[in-house]
Structure 1
Amino acid sequence: MTTRYNLNRLTYFIATIEEGSITAAANSLGISKAVVSKQLQLLEEEVGVNLFMRNTRRIRPTQAGQSFYTEGKAALVCANEAFENILEHDSLPKGKIRVTAPVDYGLAYVAPLVAQFRNEYPTVSIHLDLRDEQVDIIDQGYDLAFRVGWLNDSSNLARKLQEFQEIVVCSPTAVKQASIRRPEDLHKLSFIANHNLKSPNLWIFQRMDEIQKLEIKAALSINITMAIKEAVINGNSFAILPDFLVKKELHEGKLIRLLPKWSLRTGGIYTLSPPGRRRTKALRSFLEMVNRTIS
């Protein structure tokens, strides 16, 4: 026979750990301290181990209690999501989504996507922040973040949408000024660097087994990729840019790719979302559109 556990006691236990005391847990739950205390005692008897280390000021979990808290919290989150999902089953997405993205990628891809989403779901409002500095999405209260490049280790839930490659581009007028056959030939042209990068002047080119490191002195340094692209189109310089931002200009002939047989770094485009936070129907619908449109 399957054992039936009292899940209310799990709720009391988690509240006590998060609030730091039985009194605070009782206040947050809107019940008496005596009820919480009694239910915690019964819970410890039920599982057969001590879950708390008690002192006069705070109550802290034992090692077993911490493990029980982590797994129990995840279970409650899933249970709450199941209830809320079924309640939302026949309803339209609604509410507010907070999203952040890098400036260039946000302008080119996220802002049009947000507008498209709002056309389909006018009951959802979206707060979109475009910024190049990487913020803590949990502290800042974001539901979703777009990241371009290379991810740092974090507890956030990441999903890769696509890959991109850095490529060398110049204007049609610039390509006529010098013959560019190998990476070192780039010194014949002026270079526009992105000083937001960690190493804006140092680049590693690879062709099959041949690797060449090249340090390129910048004639012009700009911190916004879209501005760099416009400067290259209207000047006689070259730049190294992500391929997804120059596809249209390459197709139209406004830009020319240099050294196509040589490769630079490959990066990723990701979505990040906070762990353990319920995804509303509005956010799930937005992510479905992101996956359909960008992936």
Structure 2
Amino acid sequence: MKQHATAVASLVGAVKNYGSLTALDGLDLMLHRGELLALLGPNGAGKSTAIGLLLGLIRADAGRVELFGEEPQSLRARRRVGVMLQSASLPQTLRVGELLRLTMSYYPSPRTLDDCANLAGITDLLLRPYAKLSGGQQRRVQFAMALCGRPELLFLDEPTVGMDIEARQRLWTAIRGLVAEGCAVVLTTHYLEEAEALAQRVVVLAKGRVISEGSVDALRSRVSLTRIRCITDLDEVAVARWANVASVEREQRYLQICTDAPENLLRRLLDADPAVTELEVRRAGLAEAFTELTRETTTTQEAA
């Protein structure tokens, strides 16, 4: 059996209500060893609730929740999990090294201080007070803290917010290394290019249900959109009214158009502006697929 085929956590028919609001509506979700799962969805889709159930922070109203075959509230199971939440309240007066040593003390067989610092790229920050760090540096420290217990399951909630490109790339490399060692990773992010770069499997939630699941390529193939990017003086509002145009965005000199009929669109584009330059045509990415999938779900529910 392949390593990634082993389940480490699961939700089966999970239901969670907050008064009259249904946050999860019979959600099934399986997390596998050695796999990076991107959990995506618009605000209010149920992502935070699903993670809260798996971490044992809240309890389901119905259905089954398991973490390493146990109740998520089990201390033995929770010690096998690392968590990097979107916001963290940490002692501001402690130095980075002190924060890591404190976190390491909660686990029976923690990573070494040097190992955590090297993985997160913070060896130069160990003597600095946490409160004096930039937002991106604090996120890297939080990542190091999530690794202290040698987690077999790692939850990363918007992990690279505030990071520069170099720090983000270094974190991606570290995440890939953890997955290669067999760690299961659950990633939630609004940077869809991050999910596209890292995820082996993507689950898209809407209204507390799974609306799509599969590899990045599989999700992209469900949306027959092509992205056309070029330099043109054409007005984006006028282009948005053309037939077969799904969306239009202006990025400084560049116009980016998504269409389900690229050949027709290209003919009209060249007709309207023969001076168009730097023309680039490629299949739509995960961002366009995500937008189209969630829009289809909203439209279907409104029509029902």
TM-score range, shorter chain: under 0.3
TM-score by length of 1: 0.25
Structure exhibiting the larger radius of gyration computed from Cα positions: 1
TM-score by length of 2: 0.25
